[in-house]
Amino acid sequence: MHTVTYEELDTALDAAGAALGAAEAHGALSGTLAASLSFQADAWIDDILGGTEAPERAMHAREVLTALCRETAVHLSGPDMEFGPLLPGDEVALDERTAALATWCTGFLAGLGSVPVPPAGWPDTVREIVADFAEIARASVGEEDAEEDSEAAYSELVEYLRASAQLVHEELVDPRGEMVDEAE
């Protein structure tokens, strides 16, 4: 099975003239899927590609986004803990990876915010994760930070995002695909 890469998504979105880059688009997708029972891939893709002036180039981006939607939904709800934020690889400079990580969080929060809140509201765990993601969205690499320490911190943040996105999904949508209601 083909897995959509960061570079592939970023190139397709850029060629189509989309307003979002790969990290923010995947974050938005992940946030929406984490809380949505009725995710509509076509409508989401239309939102991402809306306003593009090159329909022929948007066709390839649509194909990439469709595959990304499918993969992300499977990984986020699967039992094998395969989900992870789509970010640049280790060959990219740390400050660029950190900026992408911050942008991914911004996208996740926007996606999560686009889904109606369950009647009982979000559980405390979800509220804490949202607060953490809002803080991480402001992340940057300081000049005084040692490269080795910064790499370790970056790795820890990526792992936290991975686990937290899955936890949000578990807290808001149960394994049967039903909205979790704290009143139960």
- Delimit the domains of the chain by residue range: 6-172
Q: Which two tokens stand for residue 119?
A: 């009647």
Architecture of the domain made up of 6-172: Up-down Bundle (1.20)
Residue 23 and residue 104 in contact, taking contact as beta carbons nearer than 8 Å: yes
For residue 12, count other CB atoms closer than 10 A to its CB. Answer: 24
pTM comes to 0.89
Task: Look at residues 108, 89, 88, 93 and name the one whose alpha carbon lies nearest to residue 161.
Answer: 108
Task: Look at residues 159, 30, 150, 160 and name the one whose alpha carbon lies nearest to residue 96.
Answer: 150
How confident is the model over 149-167, as a mean pLDDT?
93
- pLDDT band (50, 70, 90) for residue 178: very low
Between 162 and 182, where is the model more confident? 162
- Judged on CB neighbours under 10 Å (0-12, 13-18, 19+), 57 is middle
